[in-house]
Chain A
Amino acid sequence: MKTNGGSYIFNVIAVKDKEKNYDHADYGLNARKKLFGKDVVDNSRSMISIINRDYVYEDVNDTFCRAHKNDRSAFVGKSLEDIWGSENFQKKIKPNIDQCFSGKTVKYQATFRIPHKNRGQFNVIFRPVKNTDGSVMHLVADTFDVSRFKQLEIGTGNIRRALEKFESEYKNYLSDGRKSGSAGIPDGGIAHDLNNIMTTIGGYATMLENNLPEGSPERQKASKIIAAVEKAVSLTNQLIIFSKQSKPEIKPVNICDVLGESVGFMRSALPSDIIIKSDFQSLDAFVLGDSTQLFRIFFNLLTNAVQSVEDKGGIINVDLALADMTTKNKIIGKENITGKYIKVIVGDSGKGIDPEILDRVFEPYFTTKKAGKGSGLGLSVVRRLVTDMGGSISVSSKKNVGSSFIIYLPLAEKFPE
């Protein structure tokens, strides 16, 4: 029997040859079957080998060689005891092989280490090759590495646990934020925790992506987890910037940029049934203020607008216009303002505000929101920030039609950078 490297004893199975000198006689006859046998066996995802009654490898497939990082000649003609070690062979392998030589197919799952490789989990099947007289001289061993599937199971389990942790931490944070009045905006502390969790989720997803076959749907799913984690990270970072407790830095700020940014930021978190319309014309309008505080003003108003429509969905209108009030005095809100202003409107198609409480919406700790939803500080802070900038804020509302918040901020001369 030919057993040197390069020959394919597997064909003996494929053609069910009765004769021992099959390798030269039946080439023409069974060429197609041989080719089929070779291709299928070598491209199998299993390590396949043929073992004889002396516990010697008669042949191994390409997958087997690749897994062992060695040539066919390193196995063919070698005893299993030499390759797998005496103890391992006697205790774990031989009993199963002997059972197979008695004519039964043996299946089991085992954890072992391929020499010079990591430990892995394998599904092992020994199938007897029966001769016409029913005797078994060879068996086919089919060993399939299921570590990746196990890893997938563990990986997805870990991701799920990390997500649960994220959820509970965020909930805790929101309720703490409510007490401290920070209105649910993450600070440096929570950001550290969130980043740890994101690193954990992203790490496992990357491991899965690395290990899963290219083009497989599982790999695509792992890539999507990674992309979602990246999104969450950028969101967290924006929130950190937003909540940063730094001293306000007063300088000319392009109001269109900040308003656009806050709208974009809000949009990234919206369900599809809430639409923000912001087709205002881009103006080269500057106000004197702190860009983070301006962002906070707009974000707060947008949050309120979104919450007012979130039950049924709806439209939020954001508009911006120049307002020249040099010609006459106007009373807007409670402030008396004159000069050149920029007017920002944030309107919603939500449930509206009861007329009896409309006057109170800017009061600190006044809230109509359910527990956990708002601190009652948002609009009072907005109002303080707006008046600090020399502006004014007012609200008009109609029950079941919607509310509009109008802010006037004094225009600044454009300063050089």
Chain B
Amino acid sequence: MPGILIIEDDPDLREMLKTALSGDYLSILEAKDGKDAIIHFKPGVIDLVVTDLIMPEEDGLKVIMKIKEMKPGIKIIAISGGGKAGPGSYLQIARTLGADAVFSKPFSINDLAGKIKELLKLEQFD
């Protein structure tokens, strides 16, 4: 079963993402910030990371770099939101750093689920 790590500092949003992606085809792990994610990252279990970019503690961009170091083949989806000036460029940098897809908040969870399915090449996905 593919493993997904959700890194998001907003607890409500994190729970929503977990609920949306939970199912028999994916196992979901969560981290409340980048620092938490890096400490508990298990390369053997996680196949895809969904990470917020602007977070307290470890910043999302650093998380992408560190996780890519720990598991080069990992798929990464970066999500961000906020003022017009910030997140656009953040998402751009995330792509440059190796994020496979970027989403600007607010995004449709159907789009996110579709992208995960595509990146993990899942046939069945509820």
Contact = CB atoms under 8 A, between A and B. Distances in A.
B24 A118 contact: yes
Given A200-B12, A203-B109, A191 B83 contact: yes
Interface residues of B, number: 26
B23 A118 contact: yes
Given A118-B23, A118-B24, A165-B12, A199 B82 contact: no
A197 interface: yes
Contacts of B10: 193, 196, 200
Contacts of B87: 192
Contacts of A165: 12
Contact of A229 (B13, B17, B83, B106): B106
Interface string B13-57: 101110110111000000000000000000000000000001000
A123 interface: no
A90 interface: no
Contacts of A247: none
Given A188-B86, A191-B82, A203-B20, A196 B109 contact: no
A118 B126 contact: yes
B106 A240 contact: no
Contact of A192 (B83, B109, B126): B83
B105 A195 contact: yes
B108 to A, nearest CB: 6
6 A-B pairs with least C-beta separation: A188-B83, A195-B81, A192-B82, A199-B106, A195-B105, A203-B16
Given A188-B84, A202-B108, A203-B109, 17 more contacts: A118-B24, A191-B82, A192-B82, A192-B87, A196-B10, A196-B13, A196-B81, A196-B105, A197-B12, A199-B106, A200-B16, A207-B109, A210-B110, A240-B83, A240-B84, A244-B83, A246-B85
Interface of B: 10, 12-13, 15-17, 19-20, 22-24, 54, 81-87, 105-110, 126
